[in-house]
Amino acid sequence: MSRQDTATATAFELETQGARANTQPQTSSNTSLTDSDAILHASRLADSTVPDGGYGWIVIFGCAVITWWFVGTSYSWGVIQAALVEQGLSSPSILSFVGSMTTAIISVLAILNSRVMRAFGARYTALLGILLVGVGEVLAGFATRNIRGLFVTAGGIMGIGTRCANSYDDSKGLNAKLRCV
């Protein structure tokens, strides 16, 4: 397989290949080594520069905090459940259903969430999800004496919010996930 048949190439390599197409084929292996060195040097130079001035690390940190917040909140329901059982709000089986409702909604609304994301975009869908998670948590704080209120706030609103906040377009890769912040 020749070097020109490879699927990935740097911009410098493509320019070099374009220049070779206009000239005669090179037969010396010495010349191809110097071309490889120039390509390697250009690749190292491109890799040494930080795109966006390093702002990508701030975006990654923001995504990590948001993910820690909504995933940690929904999967740590057992801690909240223990306190609610001690208060005598309801039985552990009913309270565990409230907590599992949040994680079930994440899977149940996946198809609907993809349609919402296509209509409004990944950024606005994720921001809506962050808003809903926050509102659901605040309202659940006021509903600690009412099991129906917990079903709606901690189960429903936070579940929908977590599903929306975890929205990104897989066809665009990780870049779309990072732009959601």
**Rounded to an integer, what distance in angstroms lies between the CA atom of residue 9 and that of residue 95?**
56
pLDDT value for 175: 47
Same domain, 98 and 19: no
Same domain, 132 and 105: yes
Question: Are 166 and 75 within 8 A, CB to CB?
Answer: no
Same domain, 122 and 37: no
Among 46, 165, 167, 42, smallest CA distance to 114 is for: 167
Given pLDDT bands bounded at 50, 70 and 90, which one contains residue 6?
very low
**Rounded to an integer, what distance in angstroms lies between the CA atom of residue 181 and that of residue 64?**
10
When divided into structural domains, the chain yields a total of 2
**Rounded to an integer, what distance in angstroms lies between the CA atom of residue 162 and that of residue 76?**
14
Residue 68 domain boundaries:
52-178
Same domain, 85 and 127: yes
Tokens of 21: 């197409």
31-62 pLDDT tens trace:
555 777 888 888 887 777 766 667 778 878 87
Same domain, 42 and 62: no
Report the predicted TM-score, pTM, of the whole model to 2 decimal places. Answer: 0.61
Same domain, 60 and 44: no
Distances (CA, A) of 27 to 8, 32, 33, 74: 24, 9, 12, 64
